[in-house]
Amino acid sequence: MADEITRDVIKVLTAGRALELAMAGLYGELAALHSHSPTMVRLWKKTAREEMNHAAQFTLALEAMSEVISTTVGNPSALDRLRQAIENTVEEFRVHRPSLREALVAAINFEALMSDLHADQILVFTDPRCRRLFEAMMAADAGHVAALRAALAELGSIKS
């Protein structure tokens, strides 16, 4: 039974890391596609770095798994489906360059789907201090989602 739990945790952690890397890839691609807008390039690159930090969090969890994680409530298939949707969107955006508005809406929608899939939500920690550490590491998400929404709102005020 313990081996089965360990395999499940490894699957979820690996899928979670791949999902975060896919989001970093999306933001990196958007930075390249919107190179004409220095403000957006900065936002896309900053957000890509934050997603890379989230991927590192999953790597940390994989390395420390036996000591701090007892089980998972995450579904690796759901994580894989979302990762695939992100990767498909990147490919679509390469063919059809999205407007800033389209890119921001897609990013915000993906962030909303990911909000319940962060390590602090899908892992059961044996030590509450470890859970708080992962919660703190994920707190940056609210900030970058707010920045994406502010950028979208700014586009609306420019058109008015």
CATH number (domain holding residue 31): 1.20.1260
- The whole-number average pLDDT for the span 73-102 is 94
Residue 140 clears pLDDT 80, i.e. is over it: no
| Span 55-69, average pLDDT | 80
Q: How confident is the model at residue 4 (pLDDT cuts 50, 70, 90)?
A: low
Helix axes 76-95, 2-33, angle to 10 degrees: 20
pLDDT score of 1 = 42
Average pLDDT of the chain, as a whole number: 86
**Distance from chain centroid for Cα 52:** 8
Q: What is the mean pLDDT of residues 48-76?
A: 83
Q: Which domain holds residue 36?
A: 2-159
Residue 156's pLDDT is what?
A: 79
With a CB cutoff of 8 Å and minimum separation 6, the contacts of 67 are: 126
Top pLDDT among 102 and 63 is at 102
Tally of domains in the chain: 1
